[in-house]
Amino acid sequence: MVKKVFITDCEGPLTLNDNAYELADVFIEDGGKLFKIISRFDDYLVDDVKLENYHAGDTLKLIVPFYKLAGLTNEKMIEFSRENIYLVNGSDDTLKFANELIDSFIVSTSYGQYIEALCNYIDFPFQNTYHTQLDVCGATNFNEFSKKSSNVSSDANNSQTIVGTKSPKFIEELKKVEEFRKIILEHGDETEDDFNVLYDIFFNEFPKLEINKYIESVKTVGGKGKQIAVEDIVERFDLEEGSIIYMGDSITDVEPLQYARDHGGLSVSFNGNEYPLNVAEIAVISDHTIVSSILIDLHARFDKDYVLDFIRTYSEKGPDDAFRDFEVDYSLVEEFEKVFYNKQAPIIEIITDENREYLLKASKEMRNGIRGKDIGGLG
């Protein structure tokens, strides 16, 4: 039998958070607005410009100098992340069930501080995660950062002497970052002129500053980075075609969803926006992850055609017929019936050109309803 694995994004399919946005909103002045502007700029660079060597989710790189401006530290990130974990209903049970059934992984653009806090909270093995690594290194200790960063150039010693924590140059650079923050906030209308201003700041002005090393040091796991993570899992376990079920909800999941689909696996949009719904084969729209558990169970024990036949029966005839005609774990059926007793059943459908618009509307409504419009509206 083909070995099976479960791979999922974190924020969306498992948690209600957008940790990077929340950090910006709490610690940076007008940080929520700033993050949303940069996030839309991120989508623009991926969708319209198709900028070389730029990947979906690089918002988490571009926001970093503003974290430094606000004095955010690793300690503050960890403490905030631990105290602000909000799970999608049932996701802790789903991860436990999945991890006991088959090898399971979280592949997330989120910062490692948040992912580790989540793993500790729900007792999931941190070693089974891929995430964005960020080290903000104390309050504003640029010297210490220069020693730690693996991407600091050969002139790092010079930068350490001229960009110390209290050096005039470091203080002047923070003043420039504050100027950039104000300019970005004034250009949030998403016009081409606005995006040109942001492009100039991030790709012409920031590279002139030593503090740009913070941006350069961050390697985001989003878009292509997530696909690389999935490929690493495939190589490590010597997986065959049809071995993967991947769940995602945003622009950063496009490449891994397409990879799973191209390699005979199951690609699932969980309360996704337009990006995953354009590439995934299956749409799940639900405020509870018992649906995810059911798909994981079927994926683990049967082939792809069996799972797709279950979904067709579910969407065309309803849950009762699907549970009667297919071998779903009875404990999951009981839990499903308990969760959705006297409630509208969640949507599970195979995505087609005919139903995509309807699914997108329903998915966005669910997404915004359980995560809030600020987070739900991010790419």
Examine the domain organization and report whether 28 and 63 are in the same domain: yes
Examine the domain organization and report whether 191 and 248 are in the same domain: no
Examine the domain organization and report whether 271 and 366 are in the same domain: yes
Examine the domain organization and report whether 51 and 185 are in the same domain: yes
Q: State the residue range of the domain holding 167.
A: 19-83+135-217
Whether 115 and 131 have beta carbons less than 8 Å apart is answered as: yes
Examine the domain organization and report whether 103 and 67 are in the same domain: no
The secondary structure element, H or E, covering residue 40 is: helix 31-44
Segments of 275-335 assigned E as strands: 282-285
Examine the domain organization and report whether 280 and 183 are in the same domain: no
Measured distance between the N- and C-terminal CA atoms of the chain, rounded to whole angstroms: 38
CATH of the domain at 208: 1.10.3870.10
CATH of the domain at 354: 3.40.50.1000
Structure tokens at 289: 């992850």
Using the 8-state DSSP alphabet, how is residue 89 labeled?
B
Q: What does the pLDDT read at residue 159?
A: 29
Q: What does the pLDDT read at residue 138?
A: 38
Decide if 302 is inside a domain: yes
Backbone CA torsion sign across 253, 316, 309, 355: negative
Examine the domain organization and report whether 235 and 199 are in the same domain: no
Decide if 352 is inside a domain: yes
Examine the domain organization and report whether 269 and 243 are in the same domain: yes
Decide if 331 is inside a domain: yes
Domain-terminating residue out of 217, 233, 252:
217
Q: What does the pLDDT read at residue 379?
A: 63
Q: What is the C-alpha separation between 269 and 280, in angstroms, rounded?
A: 6
Q: What is the C-alpha separation between 253 and 291, in angstroms, rounded?
A: 19
Decide if 204 is inside a domain: yes
Whether 178 and 157 have beta carbons less than 8 Å apart is answered as: no
Decide if 115 is inside a domain: no
Decide if 337 is inside a domain: yes
Q: What is the C-alpha separation between 295 and 304, in angstroms, rounded?
A: 10
Q: What is the C-alpha separation between 23 and 329, in angstroms, rounded?
A: 40
Q: What does the pLDDT read at residue 7?
A: 98
Examine the domain organization and report whether 59 and 194 are in the same domain: yes
Is 373 buried (19+), middle (13-18) or exposed (0-12) by CB count in 10 A?
Answer: exposed
Examine the domain organization and report whether 253 and 324 are in the same domain: yes
Domain-terminating residue out of 182, 217, 252:
217
Q: What does the pLDDT read at residue 155?
A: 31
Decide if 69 is inside a domain: yes
Examine the domain organization and report whether 206 and 227 are in the same domain: no
- Residue among 169, 170, 207 at smallest CA distance from 61: 207
Examine the domain organization and report whether 245 and 299 are in the same domain: yes
Decide if 213 is inside a domain: yes
pLDDT per residue, tens digit, the chain (379 aa), is 689 999 999 999 999 999 999 999 999 999 999 999 999 999 999 999 999 989 889 999 999 999 999 999 999 999 999 999 999 999 999 999 999 999 999 999 999 999 999 999 999 999 999 999 998 763 333 333 333 333 322 232 332 322 345 577 878 999 999 999 999 999 999 899 999 999 999 999 999 999 998 899 998 999 999 999 999 999 999 999 999 999 999 999 999 999 999 999 999 999 999 999 999 999 999 999 999 999 999 999 999 999 999 999 999 999 999 999 999 999 999 999 999 999 999 999 999 999 999 999 999 999 999 998 778 777 6
Q: What is the C-alpha separation between 229 and 244, in angstroms, rounded?
A: 13
Structure tokens at 300: 């683990």
Domain count, the chain: 2
Domain-terminating residue out of 217, 240, 257:
217
CB atoms within 10 A of CB 199: 16
- Residue among 305, 336, 279, 260 at smallest CA distance from 94: 336
Q: What is the C-alpha separation between 330 and 318, in angstroms, rounded?
A: 17
Question: From residue 372, how far is each of 15, 32, 191, 261, 364 by CA, in Å?
Answer: 12, 13, 25, 30, 10
Q: What does the pLDDT read at residue 147?
A: 37
- Residue among 25, 56, 59 at smallest CA distance from 39: 59
